[in-house]
Homo-oligomer: A and B are copies of this chain.
């Protein structure tokens, strides 16, 4: 496994690999790897000749009041995990390498962002789309792997790739959960012990909503009230949003039908957690 820190060297390596006909699987991350990431890496490993993992905490996608500086980092641990998973290259640039000067261009996202996480994080998805565009040009993947946990991110990336005709395939991978159902996340380490126990309420609320749908409920508002009540009574977390949209268009629905997403964000003391469920309703 090679650790590469410069854009030029990464591009040179990839061009060499591609000239030999190798397929490239790419897993872009902000590091502090957990099993969710490892699932993406495993799938990339199965489906490609070469696997590239990027580890870069992208300042562009954090708002001024957000957790860029406290976002957890542990490169040596990440490196060991990547080695175990037979990653071929870790791309681990500095902020200076990625943004050497004030950029003259950026990629902006003008749809699918005014709901869910996008609503409370203005500019976040512009930062994501810009860094992902850069990384796609640096790693030139055949396939790029994203977790469905950030379902809005998947919807945005699919729009980016399709609208700008990036020559690659976006692979969306199912959410990986802790034993109790909590979706895995780098940010879970910032939960207080008591909050960690309560945090399963996100998953349980989604399951409760699914049960209601299975029993015939088709009114999104009833489900939203149900989930809000469950979260309020079972945790100290504050609901940031509990929303239901068509997927991947992320448009509001009067009545549940077709492919939908039920999505939650809940704020705890030092961390905000998200979870979602994508369902196909007949």
**Residues in chain A within 8 A of chain B (CB atoms):** 7, 11, 15, 18-19, 21, 102-112, 129-130, 133-134, 137-138, 140, 156, 159-160, 163-167
Contacts and interface: CB of A to CB of B under 8 A. Distances in A.
B165 A103 contact: no
Copies in the complex: 2
5 closest Cβ contacts across the A-B interface? A104-B159, A104-B111, A103-B163, A137-B165, A134-B165
B107 A112 contact: no
A11 B105 contact: no
B164 A134 contact: yes
Given A18-B18, A19-B21, A108-B108, A164 B133 contact: yes
Contact of A167 (B11, B130, B164, B166): B11
Contacts of A104: 109-112, 156, 159-160, 163
Nearest to A21: B19
B106 A107 contact: yes
A134 B110 CA distance: 17
Contacts of A21: 19
A102 B106 contact: no
Nearest to A8: B165
Most B Cβ at <10 Å: residue of A108, A111, A164: A164
A141 to B, nearest CB: 12
25 contacts: A11-B165, A11-B167, A19-B21, A103-B110, A103-B159, A104-B111, A104-B112, A104-B156, A104-B159, A105-B107, A105-B108, A105-B109, A105-B110, A105-B129, A105-B159, A105-B160, A105-B163, A106-B107, A106-B108, A106-B110, A106-B163, A107-B108, A134-B165, A137-B166, A137-B167
Contacts of A107: 105-108, 164
Contacts of A7: 165
A140 B104 CA distance: 22
A105 B104 CA distance: 17
A7 B161 CA distance: 13
A156 B105 CA distance: 9
A151 to B, nearest CB: 15
